[in-house]
Chain A
Amino acid sequence: MGKEYKISPYQIFSMFFLIHIFTALTYSPKLSFSKGLWDLMLSAIISLLLSFVLETPSYVLYKKYQSCNMFSGKLGVVYMIIYAIYFIWVACYVFSLMRVFIISVMSPETPVILLSIFAFMGAMYSAHKGVHAIARTSVMIVFFVFLSLIFIALSLLPKIKTENYLPFMSSGAEETINGVIYMMSRNFSLPAIAVILPLIEGNKKATLTIWNVVTHFFSLIIIFLTVGSLGKYLETQIFQIYSVTRIAEVGVFRRLDAVYVATLAMGSFITFSEFCYFFSFVCSNIKKQTVKEISVLLGAIAIFVFGLCIPQSKEFYYFIFNRYILLIYNIIAAFILPLIFLVKKLIIENRSKRK
């Protein structure tokens, strides 16, 4: 592993919280294949429990073998490739989803290519600065994001109509299942946890538990407010959370969608930077300096090119946003790979004990 910086529990919470907020705010039925949003309340609860399950191998691994490195040895190269591709994938996902959001619902006139270039340059710079820079920025941004979300939530409270809440699973369990698949496929933090858990100082268990509970609790609140405010209208919208912020108002403060856009922009920028960093973090384990440098450069080019191309190509779009592929990849990166490594470590340990 490269240089080891330690990040505090609050910093790691902020980093992962922003990733979760980005995925929660960009919820779209086009991606989840669920018509409504209400059944996703159940999905969020199931997703919370599943997240704990998926985190377990990484947690146990780093608890037992604090200084272990998943990317050492021959198996480590395979791990490196899998994680590097995953992080490039997610970075492209975030980059292109933001572009889709701007083009389709926010303002099609925005010069997205220029915006993308500058966002990309900024993200690359923060990734280059390292995890401390990203972590510190995340802490600051989380503060503003919290304020914005509380402000939007309070402004939506008077708009809630109880008639908009229908019974759970009124059209069967399909929506809930789709929701779980969607949420788990977009839980991008889990594979990241598997990689950067050794960097966390302090109580890892408490940090992960609090992060998991708080982020899912936020999802529940967002769903509750959104459904209560706009009911069936949401079924007609591509980005439902954005739609609901357009009716939010408190006194003289109107058009709170601007607050949403700011929150999303901050969240997406940090999420994008984080995955660029995770990618370079994985690449930093390459021993040969020239290969290391080339891999980071290639990764950056791949993120930029794919990120720009995805919204343009339907086939590519369907592939990269495919929830099943992402779910499988997520389970492999977050659960199976750390589990295999843990089993391998345990076997080696048992063998050495026998000797």
Chain B
Amino acid sequence: MKKVSIIIISFLLLVFISGCMQVAQVNEKLIIQAMGVDLSDEEYIITVQALDVESAGGKDLVAAKKVKIFKARGYSIQDAMVNIKSQSGGKPIYSQAILLIMGEEIAKSGVGVFIDFFIRNYDFSPGVNVLVARGKACDILTTKIDEKIITAEKLASISKEGMDANNSVNSNMGQFIGDVKCENRGAIAGYIMSEELDEKNALVVDKIAFFNGDKLVGVLDPEESKGYLFIKGKSFGISDLVYSPDFLDITYTASNSKSKIKVYLQEDKLSVSIDMNVSLYVSESNVGVNCESDSSNIESLVSDRIKDLAKKAIKKSIIDNKTDIFGFSCRFLKFNFQYVKENDLDLVEMLQDAEYNIKVKTKLVSAKSY
């Protein structure tokens, strides 16, 4: 009798708890891979890249994921998503989304208004990559190369590789929203743009968009972006070129970098000391350069170059745009919280007048050891 009742209960469990009730078939679902958000005439335009489960199957699905594009307008994201639902006839599933792209205009006007949708949606993972598009997000999501739409997976991979596989710029939704909500720190996101190379489209992510509060205020160019990554001590694999009229042109690659940052008060003025230790190897050089005999010259040249890159990044974000994307304020706050509170200090303003002591120690390692 016991066994019979266990079998009956197990059967019931199988039928009811496995979620087989009211279940939607895969072709009735809209499995979203990437979302683009744009603003036009005070309306949101949502572009969705979803898996095309109907046309892809078997070998086809394994060989190349096929995606469908849907686009809809709405007075809110939810409103636009309802329109997309009626277009596609599928129930939107956000749990498989890996990418969110914001158009430049909406990013400039402030992301605080619409980001709530992604916070409240239980299905939307905080691990989703966030990118800012030059121009419109829908243009990026509909970009075709060799007549094929670039899939969200490919886009995410481009954004990772674009900044030399560095993790610090791969801003995920959780970190991005956290930084937007943080008073003392600016949020960052990879800046994706479409470029034409030999009459072919190509997508590039070699810049960093940065936010003050919830508004996009600037974009670090590739050099400034490298400076940012060096300051953050996460520049594994960064390649850069050093020009020297007296000596030679060298392309070096950072194999390892660490940075120590100290922010302290000196005569009522903030001082920021940044000590970087970078291991590098020369990946290309003018013919005749001997890495062993010229190592000290190369190291000194690269040190100056990295210092210059770091200064450029600081100038662009802190001095020109009053946005601390490096976390200097947070570091100072950690140990001087009471002082800042009592004196009601504006740390970012103080950082604009701060003294920056940047020291870079480079070490040339052989290609073999790299």
Which residues of A are interface residues toward B (Cβ below 8 A)?
104-111, 114-115, 118, 121, 158, 161-167, 170, 229-237, 243-244, 246-247, 249, 255
Contacts and interface: CB of A to CB of B under 8 A. Distances in A.
A10 to B, nearest CB: 29
Given A111-B16, A233-B175, 18 more contacts: A107-B19, A109-B19, A111-B17, A111-B22, A118-B9, A118-B13, A162-B327, A163-B331, A166-B334, A167-B333, A170-B337, A230-B126, A231-B182, A232-B181, A233-B177, A246-B126, A247-B126, A249-B127
B305 to A, nearest CB: 26
Interface of A is mostly: helix
Contacts of B9: 118, 121
Nearest to B336: A167
Contacts of A165: 334
A247 B174 contact: yes
A110 to B, nearest CB: 7
Interface string B148-186: 000000000000000000010000111101110110010
Contacts of B63: none
Interface of B: 9, 12-13, 16-17, 19, 21-22, 119, 122, 125-127, 167, 172-175, 177-179, 181-182, 185, 327, 330-331, 333-335, 337
B347 to A, nearest CB: 13
21 contacts: A108-B122, A111-B22, A118-B9, A118-B17, A162-B327, A163-B185, A167-B337, A170-B333, A229-B174, A231-B178, A232-B179, A233-B175, A236-B119, A236-B181, A237-B119, A243-B126, A244-B126, A246-B126, A246-B127, A247-B174, A249-B127
B6 to A, nearest CB: 11
What are the 7 closest A-B residue pairs judged by CB atoms, nearest first?
A: A233-B178, A163-B327, A231-B178, A247-B127, A232-B178, A167-B337, A233-B174
Contacts of A115: 17
Nearest to A238: B122
B337 A163 contact: no
B123 to A, nearest CB: 9
Contacts of A109: 19, 22
Given A118-B13, A230-B174, A232-B182, A166 B125 contact: no
Contacts of B21: 111
Nearest to B182: A232
B330 A163 contact: yes
Contacts of B19: 107, 109-111
A235 B181 contact: yes
A104 B331 CA distance: 36
Contacts of A106: 122
Contacts of B167: 158
Contacts of B335: 167
Contact of B175 (A107, A231, A243): A231
A114 B181 contact: no
Contacts of A108: 122
A235 B335 CA distance: 23
A1 to B, nearest CB: 29
A255 B127 CA distance: 9
Contacts of B179: 231-232
Contacts of B122: 104-108
A312 B269 CA distance: 57
A108 B123 CA distance: 10
A147 to B, nearest CB: 22
A105 B122 CA distance: 5
Contacts of B12: 118
B75 to A, nearest CB: 23
Contacts of A236: 119, 177, 181
Contact of B16 (A114, A234, A244): A114
Nearest to B96: A255
A164 B331 CA distance: 10
Nearest to A247: B127
